[in-house]
Amino acid sequence: MRKSIKKIASLVLASAMALSLTACGGGSDNAATTAAATQAPAETTAGEPAAAEGLTVNTADPITITMSWWGGDGRHEATMKAVEAFMAKYPNIKVEMQYAAWTGWEDKMSASFATSTAPDVNQINWNWITSFSSDGSAFYDLNKVSDILDLTQFSEDKLNACTVAGELQGVPVAMTGRIFYWNKSTFAKAGLETPKSLADLMAAGPIFQEKLGDEYYPLAMNEYDRTILMIFYLESKYGKAWVENNALQYTQEEIVDGLNFITSLEEAHVIPTIKSLANDGAESLDKNPKWMDGRYAGIFEWDSSASKFEGALNDGEEFVVGEEFTDMGDSKGGFAKVSMCWAISENTEHPAECAALINFLMNEEEGVKILASERGIPASAAGLKICQDNGLLNEKVAEANGKVLAHVEFPLDPKFEAAALKNSDGIYYDVMAGVSYGDYDAEEAAEILIEGVEDVLNK
C-alpha cells in the first residue's frame, strides 16, 4: 500500500527540490514544429552569437576526451560503434565512454555539472540547458567551434531553442513528441480496430474487460504519462498552453476537469490503476510482462521510443503507430520539443576535438549511418538526408514523428521537466498517484499541482 503524502509535505518537497535546482544546477529524459521548437528559455534572446574562434582539430598529438550518454542497449551498441569509427578516423584521439540506463543518471550528471567534473561531451536533455546552465556557465558555446561543427545543417529555430544569452549550449539531436502506440494483436483478440479517437478508446475499455478479462487494458500509463495526457486534453479543450511566459495558464477548476478526465479512464477500464502498475513490480512499462504479452495493449510515449517498446513484445504481437486524437477539443493539444542535445562541457581542454566528434556523429556519413535513427529522426539536414537516401530510418519512428509534428501546436515550457516536478518523488507523481489511490480528491490534487508548478516557475 502506498503511504499517503500529505499536502503540506508535498509543498515542502517541491520547494526544497526547486531550491536544490537553483543551488546545484539540477534538472530533468519531441506550422506545429515551429511553434514548439522556438519555445526557448526566456534568457535565450539576449546577446549576439560568438564568432568561430578558428580552432583546428589536433591530428598529431595523443589526446583523450570523455563522453557520456544514457539509453538502452541498442543506443549503447550503436554509439560505441560510431565512436570506434571516429577513433579510427582520428587515431590520436582516444574517447573514454560513460553510459548507463536512465534511472539515477540525472542525479549523477547533476552532481558532475555542479562540481565541474562532467565529461567533455555529453548527451543532455533539452531542459538541462536551463536547469544546469541558465547563465551559460556549464556548457561550451558551440558557436565558437562552428568551423568544425557544421551548424548550418540545423534550422535557426532549433538552434535558438538551445541558446542562452547568445551562447549555443547544445546542438539538437531530434524533435520529439508524444503519441499512442498500440498492440494491434490484442485489439484484434477483442474484436476491435486500434483506436482512432478518444471515443474509440473509451469504448474499448469495457470490451477488453468483458472479452479478455480483468487484467487486459487498452492502455497503460504511469504518473508522468498521465500528466502529459492530461495536458494534451486540457490544451485541446481550452485552447491555451499549459505554461506560457513562465506563468501557469490554467485555473484550479480547469485542472480539476483534467484530473477527472484521467480518473474517467480508470473508471472505464481503459487504464490500470497506479496500484495495479506498482503490483506488477516492473521498473518501466517496456519491462512489464503485461506489456510484453499484450495484456496492456497501448502506451502513450515519445515517438522516438518505438523500437524499445516494440522490441520488448513477445513474438507474434503486432506493434503499430496510433493517431493523435482530434476529438478532445477544438484545438490540437500537445507539444513537441528538442528531444536531447549533444553538448560540450565548459571546462573541456579539447573543444575542437569534442566538436569534431559531435560533427562526426551528426553530419558525417560514416557516423550517421551507424547511429541512423537510434536517437530519433535526425535534426541535422545532412544526417536526415543520409538516413533517407540509405533507408536507415526506423519506419515506425518516422511515421510517429511525422504525425506528432503535424498535429501539436503548443510550446513546451523548459521547466516542465524540472526534477521537482518530473522525478519519481516529484509533484507529478505525487498528484497522479494520490488521485489514483484516493489520497487526494481532484480539488486538493489540483491545488497541490498548481502550487508545485508555480513554486518551480518562480525559482
Contact between residue 149 and residue 355 where contact means Cβ atoms under 8 Å apart: yes
pLDDT at 100 over 50: yes
How high does pLDDT run on average in the chain?
89
Contact between residue 162 and residue 290 where contact means Cβ atoms under 8 Å apart: no
* Cα–Cα distance, 387 to 380 (Å, whole number): 11
Range with lowest mean pLDDT among 11-25, 194-208, 224-238, 265-279: 11-25
Radius of gyration of the chain (CA): 22
Q: What's the DSSP call for residue 48?
A: -
Q: What is the pTM of this model?
A: 0.79
Residue with the three cell numbers 483534467: 258
Q: What's the DSSP call for residue 194?
A: P
* Residue 1's pLDDT band (cuts 50, 70, 90): very low
pLDDT at 33 over 60: no
Give whole-number Cα distances, 459 to 18, 82, 341, 451, in Å: 7, 40, 24, 12
* Mean pLDDT calculated for residue range 148-165: 94
The DSSP result for 196-254, as a single string, is SSHHHHHHHHHHHHHHT-TT-BS----HHHHHHHHHHHHHHHH-S-SEETTEE---HHH
pLDDT at 12 over 90: no
* Residue 4's pLDDT band (cuts 50, 70, 90): very low
* Residue 414's pLDDT band (cuts 50, 70, 90): confident
3-class DSSP state of 70: strand
Per-residue pLDDT of 355-406, as tens digits, reads 999 999 999 999 999 999 889 899 999 999 999 999 999 899 999 999 999 9
Q: Give me the pLDDT at residue 42, please.
A: 36
Picking from 304, 302, 333, 337, the residue whose alpha carbon sits closest to that of residue 41 is 337
DSSP bridge pairs for 319: 183
Q: Give me the pLDDT at residue 43, please.
A: 39
Contact between residue 309 and residue 285 where contact means Cβ atoms under 8 Å apart: yes
Q: Give me the pLDDT at residue 21, please.
A: 34
